[in-house]
Amino acid sequence: MRLAILASGRGSNLLAILEAIARGELDATVVGVFSDRRAAPALVHARNAGIRAQSLAPREFASRTDFDEHLFSLVDAVQPDLIVCAGYMRLISDPAVAARTGRMINIHPSLLPEFKGLRTHQQALDAGASVHGASVHFVTSELDGGPVITQVRVPVERGDDAATLAERVLQREHPLLVATLRELAGGRIAWIDHGVHFNGHPLAAPLQLDAGNRLVQEPTA
């Protein structure tokens, strides 16, 4: 599976993907890394791995749609099978999403539909949540509203602040994203009829990552 990664920041999820590929645990190839921030460390990780790494500055474009048109022309040029938003911090415009629905996923640091948007860890703390986590979902026009594929639960611990909680969640995001990509690469998870299918059947609830980093289906009521 040819993967194009969109990232705005440090790129730890990108590194997790590259390390899984290097260990032979993920049958995929990262064919390009793209960013809205020229200084994104994720671009450095890509270049160090010999992978095409390109960025565009949103301020140089007249509109969000114009920026997306140019950025996704760079993405399309590497002919990805799947586009992975891994810490990509821009809302993607409707035309760009519509042209790629079912071929673009995002990893989001909350148990969607809880806590969409930004500052999710502080949102969880402010809400008094005892359990937080991360979700991988298909990208749709609705920000963080697309069908959820997989999730991992992470406990909120006494004395947590946003930073300590974010770090605990991030450590579970990496195996979640890799496990999800493994199922997508293997064709066991697919976008069919505008929804998530698993093993040929509509997925009634997100698959959950267990302590052994296996994706399991929990019984639905």
Helix (H), strand (E), coil (C) string for 86-147: CCCCCCCCHHHHHCCCCCEEEEECCCCCCCCCCCHHHHHHHCCCCEEEEEEEECCCCCCCCC
From 55-63, 105-113, 153-161, 179-187, span contacting ligand GAR (CB under 6 A): 105-113
- The Cα–Cα gap between 209 and 99 comes to 30
90 annotated as ligand-binding: yes
The angle, 0 to 180 degrees and rounded to 10, between the axes of the packed helices 41-48 and 12-22 is 20
190 binds ligand LMY7XDAE (CB under 6 A): no
User: Binding partner of residue 173 among ligand GAR, ligand LMY7XDAE, none, CB under 5 to 8 Å per kind?
Assistant: ligand GAR
Tell which residue, 141, 147, 34, 138, has the closest CA to residue 97: 141
C-beta of 148 vs 156, nearer to ligand LMY7XDAE: 148
Backbone torsion region of residue 162, taken as left when φ is above 0, otherwise alpha when ψ lies between -120 and 50, otherwise beta: alpha
Distances (CA, A) of 154 to 106, 133, 135, 161, 217: 18, 5, 11, 14, 17
Residue 144 sits in the site that holds ligand LMY7XDAE (CB under 6 A):
yes
Give min distance, CB of 202 to ligand GAR, in A: 26
Q: Which does 146 bind (CB under 5 to 8 A by kind): ligand GAR, ligand LMY7XDAE, none?
A: ligand LMY7XDAE
CB of 159 to ligand GAR, least distance (A): 21
Answer whether 156's CB lies under 8 Å from 132's CB: yes
26, 104, 108, 210 from 196: Cα distances, Å? 20, 12, 17, 20
Min dist CB 13 to ligand LMY7XDAE, Å, is: 11
Binding residues among 142-181 for ligand GAR as defined by CB under 6 A: 170, 173
Q: Establish whether 11 is an annotated binding residue.
A: yes
Binding ligand GAR (rule: CB under 6 A), the pick from 80, 102, 109, 175 is: 109
User: Is residue 146 within the footprint of ligand LMY7XDAE (CB under 6 A)?
Assistant: yes
Site string for ligand LMY7XDAE, 103-132 (x = CB under 6 A): ---x-x--------xx--------------
CA dist., res. 41 & res. 139, Å (int): 23
Question: Which pair of tokens denotes residue 31?
Answer: 């064919």
Among 139, 165, 170, 189, binds ligand LMY7XDAE (CB under 6 A): 139
Question: Which tokens in the block code for residue 151?
Answer: 């999730």
Positions that interact with ligand GAR (CB under 6 A): 7, 9-13, 42, 86-87, 89, 107-109, 134, 170, 173
